[in-house]
Amino acid sequence: MVAAAVVVVRDYDPKNDCRAVEEVERICEVGPGGKLSIFTDLLGDPICRVRNSPVYQMLVAEVVVQKDGGEWREIVGMIRGCIKTVTCGKKMSRNNGKTGLPLPIYAKVAYILGLRVSPFHRRMGIGLKLVMKMEEWFRENGAEYSYMATENDNQASINLFTHKCGYSNFRRPSILVQPVFAHRVGVSSRVTIIKLSPGDAEVLYRRRFSTTEFFPRDIDSILRNNLSLGTFLAVPKGRYTAETWPGAEEFLADPPESWAVLSVWNSMELFKLEVRGASMKLRGFAKTTRVLDRAFPWLHLPSVPEVFRPFGLHFLYGLGGEGPLSVKFITALCGFAHNLAKDRGCGVVATEVSAADPLSLGIPHWKRLSCADDLWCIKRLGEYYSDGSVGDWTKSQAGLSIFVDPREV
């Protein structure tokens, strides 16, 4: 006699659950805009995508069946979540009235990622159970808001969060992906690129970008993480060199008219990606570009790398800048990041920015691999605020920029 199946949501056990979670991850292919499927290989550590966050959790959904006096169990879903403190607004104070610079208002925010349910066990309410259990953990740990990201055409995910879980559409950033070509990308000779120390990078980010929405209060932990390959500053040629760099304090006291900055996160140490679902025609075209590029390397043809087998990702975060040439300086930094990825054997370089951010015009990307209209949904979990009051953040207007935490990619 077989009893009815019961779905149990519990903590992930890294010792016993790893293989089963990887199998669910394998059969739940995801991809930007539904154009191509992307398989995520978590390199044998399913919890690695949140392990670098200050506070994190991973839950699994397990179907339990009593049969013939025994018990049969199967993991059919999982969810990851993390909690951090980020900027949700800004305010003026008496202490900063002389400078005229606003101060950030922080909120304790939770982020949901990696929600997966086996295709063979959908429409059973498993996704809802996982989200509700994760939100329970968020509240227990003092989170004021919960948010998640999904593709704008992933109707099943949108329905789950907005119709059943009470989330609302919040922001629509753009995911921009650029393949790493076989040849190096030229970087403007009018730009000098300086690698900043983690200390200088922290000073620069806190002084210039701490009021940017979703700016992490623990930016120092991100910049000093082993996965952060460095922060790079682009300035006009002749202004500074690596040897004459005066430090962030002096730079900010008298900055050049135009400059730009970005940091690079080594996601290839956490997971691999693989493009699936491409037609034979597209595969043939990609192979042809590589053959031509090898035969005529001096032409610097934009050959398509081998993305139809597992490849690594470098993520660009903390993009910012000032001045009339900041867009061109961002382009130079992206070229530098491309060459860094090439030297490290990486397959693609990606970033995520607000669709309204003017710097997005300077970020090279391939439309076929990118998602111009990603969707972030948010939910208010509590009625309290950790630093000041901005009302209900879920109803606030979007700014020009957002800060995308690389730990949540």
Distance CA(7)–CA(130), nearest Å, equals: 10
Domains for the chain: give ranges and CATH numbers.
6-169+376-386 (3.40.630.30), 177-373 (3.40.630)
- The yes-or-no verdict on residue 275 having pLDDT over 80 is no
Question: Is residue 384 over pLDDT 60?
Answer: no
| Chain centroid offset of residue 336 CA | 20
The pLDDT value recorded for residue 94 is: 64
What is the structure's pLDDT at 42? 67
Low-confidence winner among 149-153, 376-380, 385-389 (lowest mean pLDDT): 385-389
Model pLDDT, residue 233:
98
Q: Indicate whether 2 pLDDT > 60.
A: no
Give 10-46 pLDDT, tens digit per residue: 999 999 999 999 889 888 865 544 444 555 666 667 8
Q: What is the pLDDT of residues 114-170, one digit of tens each?
A: 999 999 999 899 999 999 999 999 999 999 999 999 988 889 999 999 999 999 999
Q: By the 8 A CB rule, do 238 and 256 touch?
A: no
CA atoms of 1 and 212, how far apart (whole Å): 59
Greatest Cα pair distance, the chain, in angstroms, is 81
With beta carbons less than 8 A apart as the criterion, state whether 180 and 345 touch.
Answer: no
Q: Half-sphere exposure of 50 toward its Cβ, with a 13 Å CA cutoff?
A: 20
Contact between 406 and 226 (Cβ < 8 Å): no
Contacts of 189 (CB under 8 A, 6+ apart): 237
Lowest mean pLDDT among 3-7, 84-88, 227-231, 404-408: 3-7
Compute the mean pLDDT over every residue in the chain, rounded to the nearest whole number. Answer: 89
Q: How far is CA 252 from CA 105, 108, 192, 200, 241, in A?
A: 22, 29, 17, 11, 16
d(CA 293, CA 303): 6
What is the structure's pLDDT at 96? 55
Q: Which of 271, 401, 277, 283 is nearest to 347 (CA)?
A: 271
* 8 A C-beta contact, residue 214 and residue 403: yes
Predicted confidence (pLDDT) at residue 56 exceeds the cutoff of 80: yes
Burial of 19 (0-12, 13-18, 19+ CB in 10 A): exposed
Question: What pLDDT, on the 0 to 100 scale, is given for residue 271?
Answer: 87
User: So what's the pLDDT on residue 40?
Assistant: 67
* Lowest-pLDDT range of 111-120, 239-248, 323-332, 375-384: 375-384
- Rounded distance between C-alpha atoms, residue 236 and residue 318, angstroms: 20
| Separation between Cα atoms, residue 86 and residue 146, nearest integer Å | 12
332: confidence class by pLDDT, cuts 50, 70, 90: very high
In this structure, of 52-56, 66-70, 185-189, 384-388, the range with the lowest mean pLDDT score is: 384-388
Q: CB of 46 within 8 A of CB of 22?
A: yes
What are the helix (H) ranges across 177-318? 198-209, 219-223, 248-253, 280-295
| Confidence check: pLDDT of 99 > 70 | no
What are 144's two structure tokens?
């004021």
What is the distance between the alpha carbons of residues 137 and 80, in angstroms, rounded to a whole number?
Answer: 11
For 192-202, what is the mean pLDDT? 98
Can you name the residues that pair with 103 across neighbouring β-strands? 91
